[in-house]
């Protein structure tokens, strides 16, 4: 089975899930080794899972293709509202692409690529180039659907123990401090024949306990790869010079986070909304840590502590006042809709109403309603926390006459400080004052399912939600 390295705020729950499904955990942190009573294991990971995306709303999974696909299938089966965004670029890949936009003030460029896995865009910083120019670059960090890759003008050839780099001399990881080991590695590097004097070896930390024959064998393999890549560099018709590690980004909406809470709770006492609160940032982590310490030290009060914390989350984040709306698309694009004011709250069932005022623009139509945006228009957006898959916005003109009702189908809502967040499931229901009802963009929902962004369960939930709304409107 595959060796997996896991890091980040979801590591305990995901470690439990992976172990239950016969994956091996390598390079575990001290905390994880202690929680799972794991034997020390330092093998090179076949797959890496980490959450270094800024908003902590999910994890990146990169590594060997078959293992990555197994994990993708596992997550799709386990979590009904999970969103999967595949990487067309892969990690450590090398491509030839075209500069489609250059920003001289920041010396950054947007590049476009066409590969057998699909097309994608990337951002190249610190460069001087012209629009329309072809460039060879490597993937420093993968794209995930709409989210652009981070590019580097430098070509490197990474292996498990060594990386071939353009350099006049060999280099060694600073974490290898033993003088004798460093001398031995330098000696190997100086005696291995590479493509040219412009290329050299950077020894990785993982080289520590490996035999010389293994290291030489890998360097020779990397050198052969380098020769093949440089041959393709000279052929302008070659666009994919090297395909690196495949991967995907898994976004964890509300229900996925709650199930991860339950999985983590099987290993150690876990407070409700653990992963939701952790995803907000470090400022709330201490509160989580304190509450879970109380669960452990006062087991007879466990139910009360859980109830108090759940009530705190609802009351602290759901308050009257200004609120933004973060509308996340299935492909990763994020739109910030017109904000509003929370005017009504029912904290018993999590219902709340947002009043939103729109700027008049007679040249624009409301999405879905197909009626003009006019001065004085406003909307009443009704939402509910919990396992609810839509919210409703009723639009009015300045004379309080209804212009139409828009039902947005989405993953269950999460409410952060001053911000509502959900993933839009594309399909919508429109109800007009004359009684006409329309279902919009059903084909987009189907397309995202076919392309693997969502599982069948979530697609069916969205479809059933649409049917329920339409039937209610017809009554």
| Domain regions of the chain by residue span | 3-86+247-265, 94-154, 157-233, 274-317, 321-474
d(CA 441, CA 444): 5
R_g of the chain computed on alpha carbons? 26
Task: Please count the CA atoms within 13 angstroms of the CA of 155 that sit on its side-chain side.
Answer: 21
- End-to-end CA distance of the chain: give it in Å, rounded: 55
DSSP 147: B
pLDDT of residue 53: 67
Please name the residue ranges forming H helices in 110-238: 179-191, 212-233
Classify 94-154 by CATH class.
mainly beta
CB atoms within 10 A of CB 360: 13
Grouped pLDDT means (10 residues each) for the chain, 475 residues? 96 98 97 95 94 86 97 98 97 97 96 92 95 96 94 95 94 93 94 91 92 95 96 93 96 97 95 89 79 83 81 78 96 95 88 92 84 93 95 97 98 92 98 96 97 98 98 92
Give the strand pairing for 134-141 and 419-431.
unpaired
Neighbours of 435 (CB within 10 A): 8
Q: Which residue's structure tokens are 């945006």?
A: 373
- What six digits make up the tokens of 378? 């406003």
- The region, left, alpha or beta by phi > 0 then psi within -120 to 50, assigned to residue 435 is left
Taking phi over 0 as left and psi of -120 to 50 as alpha, with beta for the rest, 63 belongs to left
What six digits make up the tokens of 360?
Answer: 């008049």
Between CA 156 and CA 140 the distance in angstroms is 10
Q: Do the domains 94-154 and 321-474 sit in the same CATH topology, yes or no?
A: no
What architecture is the 321-474 domain classified under in CATH? Beta Barrel (2.40)
Give the C-alpha separation, 123 to 147, whole Å. 10
For residues 247 and 62, the answer to whether their CB atoms sit within 8 Å is yes
Q: Are the C-beta atoms of 404 and 395 separated by less than 8 Å? A: yes
Q: What are the b/e assignments for 456-468, b being 16+ CB within 10 Å?
A: eebbebbbebbee
Helix and strand numbers, DSSP H then E, in the chain = 11, 27
- Residue-level pLDDT at 55: 81
How far from the centroid of its chain's Cα atoms is residue 302's Cα? 33
């Amino acid at each position: 089975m595959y060796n997996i390295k896991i890091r980040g705020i979801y590591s305990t729950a995901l470690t439990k899930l992976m172990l239950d499904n016969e994956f091996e955990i390598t390079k575990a942190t001290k905390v994880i080794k202690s929680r799972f009573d794991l034997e020390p294991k330092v093998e090179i990971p076949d797959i890496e899972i980490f959450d270094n995306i800024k908003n902590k709303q999910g994890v990146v999974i990169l590594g060997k293709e078959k293992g990555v696909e197994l994990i993708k299938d596992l997550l799709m089966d386990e979590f009904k509202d999970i969103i999967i965004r595949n990487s067309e670029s892969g990690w450590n890949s090398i491509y030839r692409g075209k500069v489609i936009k250059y920003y001289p003030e920041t010396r950054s460029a947007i590049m476009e690529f066409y590969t057998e896995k699909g097309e994608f865009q990337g951002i190249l910083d610190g460069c001087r180039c012209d629009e329309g120019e072809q460039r060879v670059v490597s993937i420093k960090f993968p794209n995930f659907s709409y989210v652009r890759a981070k590019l580097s003008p430098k070509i490197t050839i990474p292996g498990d123990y060594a990386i071939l780099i353009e350099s006049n001399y060999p280099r060694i990881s600073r974490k290898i401090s033993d003088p004798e080991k460093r001398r031995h590695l330098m000696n190997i590097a100086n005696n291995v024949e590479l493509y040219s004097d412009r290329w050299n070896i950077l020894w990785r930390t993982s080289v520590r306990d490996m035999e010389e024959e293994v290291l030489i064998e890998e360097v020779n393999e990397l050198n052969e790869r380098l020769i093949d890549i440089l041959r393709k560099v000279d052929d302008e018709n070659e666009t994919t010079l090297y395909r690196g590690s495949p991967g995907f980004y898994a976004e964890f909406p509300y229900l996925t986070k709650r199930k991860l809470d339950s999985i983590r709770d099987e290993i150690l006492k876990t407070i409700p909304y653990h992963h939701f609160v952790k995803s907000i940032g470090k400022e709330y982590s201490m509160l989580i840590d304190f509450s879970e310490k109380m669960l452990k030290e006062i087991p007879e009060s466990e139910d009360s502590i859980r109830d108090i914390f759940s009530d705190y989350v609802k009351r602290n984040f759901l308050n009257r006042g200004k609120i933004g709306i973060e509308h996340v698309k299935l492909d990763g694009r994020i739109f910030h809709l017109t904000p509003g004011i929370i005017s009504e709250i029912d904290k018993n069932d999590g219902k709340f109403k947002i009043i939103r005022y729109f700027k008049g623009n007679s040249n624009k139509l409301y999405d879905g309603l197909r009626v003009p945006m006019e001065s004085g228009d406003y909307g009443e957006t009704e939402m509910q926390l919990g396992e609810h898959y839509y919210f409703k916005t009723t639009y009015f003109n300045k004379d309080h006459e209804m212009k139409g009702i828009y039902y947005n189908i989405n993953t269950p809502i999460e409410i952060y400080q001053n911000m509502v967040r959900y993933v839009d499931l594309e399909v919508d229901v429109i109800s007009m004052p004359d009684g006409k009802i329309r279902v919009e963009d059903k084909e987009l929902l189907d397309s995202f399912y076919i392309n693997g962004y969502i599982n069948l369960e979530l697609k069916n939930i969205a479809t059933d939600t649409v049917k329920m709304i339409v039937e209610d409107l017809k009554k």
